Chain A
């Protein structure tokens, strides 16, 4: 099935902030035919002929959004992200930024090499759970910017009155926003809504 790609090896650069995942990806790809693996992104910026860049979430999203088109209009390598950021909104942000492939940390060696091949051929690759989350996300209602502000304060445990004071709006207005948030997240109570907001990645947990 993948016979045509055997002709030229796929050049892969690996830069992952989890050193074990980075070493694992490099050693698994090296043990298979058809891949040339380098560690780090240093040569890439210099215009090296890298087909696929395998990175963590932050690196992938940040770099894709900021990579200038390569010299002579040739596309720079495509990004494949390996991460445990599995919420719908996180995935959507990455895909919007231009990430071409998305795998979760628990993927198998077979899936990894399949994904790298896919992305190298110019296609996209989302693992099954990732595609699931993304599709769920597409059907969810998007809160307004103001509702997000309210949601953030709600998640700190503030009461409507205090949220109103913080944002300089009336308690009644806050109440209306909260109602809209509960409706959009399809949850009956504010605590349930806060939980759902974290689950779907609308709010991100600050790492300690």
Chain B
């Protein structure tokens, strides 16, 4: 590790306070060069540390280019999500979009520094302690179909089957079948329980 070149870390965070903190903490770390998001970068960052929303945007636009690792001739930097969001569904969404690391914001900053080094070396997915426990506990992500996700979104709002059927332009019986499948997948017996579980685990985007 000694004598190696500095790591270039780019930071994107929606909250100005956290942004300032990230810049100052990463900047103090020996061997790291930090770059704030709005400064002109020459596409040379090794690692990007971004909040949940920024990271998902970044990963989505990277995958739109369709060649993994290459975007417009530049090597795509590896992305670490640094966030306060700690629900299972949110973690899974980030990993599924191709994030290389997931670190909670209330974790010790030393963990973030580890994550940056690990990811820059080309290491596999880095999860901070809190997140690891979360993924091991619950079975990773309940596989809902796109239609089931539609139904779930309205169900959590409190709509009845008829109302959901009208919104999605399908029959009430079809909705009923979807709701039954959703209950089965979540191992619960009532729609109120579905709503409770789906919200707690962050399985719906509100």
A and B, one complex? yes
By a beta-carbon cutoff of 8 Å, the part of chain A in contact with chain B is: 17-25, 27-28, 82, 84, 105-109, 112, 154-159, 187-195, 198, 205-208
Residue picked from A24, A28, A188, most chain B C-beta under 10 Å: A24
Contact B199 A105 (CB under 8 A): no
Measured as residues with beta carbon below 8 angstroms from the partner, the interface class of chain B is: 35 or more
Q: Which chain B positions have C-beta within 8 A of A158? A: 192
Query: B63 an interface residue at 8 Å Cβ cutoff?
Result: no
Given contacts A18-B84, A188-B158, whether A106 and B21 have CB atoms under 8 Å apart is no
B97 at the interface (CB under 8 A from A): no
Q: In the complex, which residues of chain B have a beta carbon less than 8 angstroms from the beta carbon of A21? A: 15, 17-18, 21, 105
* Residues of chain B lying within 8 A (CB to CB) of residue A105: 15, 17-18, 84
Could you show 28 A-B contacts with beta carbons less than 8 Å apart? A18-B84, A18-B106, A19-B25, A20-B22, A23-B21, A23-B22, A24-B21, A24-B22, A27-B23, A82-B17, A84-B84, A105-B15, A106-B15, A157-B189, A157-B190, A159-B192, A189-B158, A189-B160, A190-B158, A191-B155, A191-B195, A193-B158, A194-B158, A194-B192, A195-B158, A198-B199, A208-B87, A208-B200
Q: Is B180 an interface residue (CB 8 A)?
A: no
Query: Which residue of the partner chain B has the closest CB to A19?
Result: B109
Q: Which residue of B lies closest to A188 (CB)?
A: B158
Closest 9 CB pairs of A and B: A192-B158, A157-B193, A24-B21, A23-B21, A20-B21, A24-B20, A24-B17, A191-B158, A157-B192
Q: Judging by beta carbons under 8 Å apart, are A207 and B25 in contact?
A: no
Q: Within the complex, what minimum Cβ distance (angstroms) separates A59 from chain B?
A: 12
Give, as a whole number of angstroms, the nearest-CB distance from A205 to chain B: 6
Chain A residues whose C-beta falls within 8 Å of the C-beta of B71 in the assembled complex? none
Chain B residue contacts of A20, Cβ below 8 A:
13, 17-18, 21-22, 25, 82, 105, 109
Known pairs A106-B15, A109-B17, A187-B158; A23 contacts B190 (CB<8 A): no
Q: Shortest CB–CB separation between residue B183 and chain A, in angstroms?
A: 10
Alpha-carbon distance A73/B192, docked complex (angstroms): 52
Contact of A24 among B16, B158, B159, B199 (CB under 8 A): B16
Task: Tell me, rounded to whole Å, the shortest Cβ–Cβ distance linking B107 to chain A.
Answer: 8
State the CA gap A82–B189 with chains docked (Å). 40
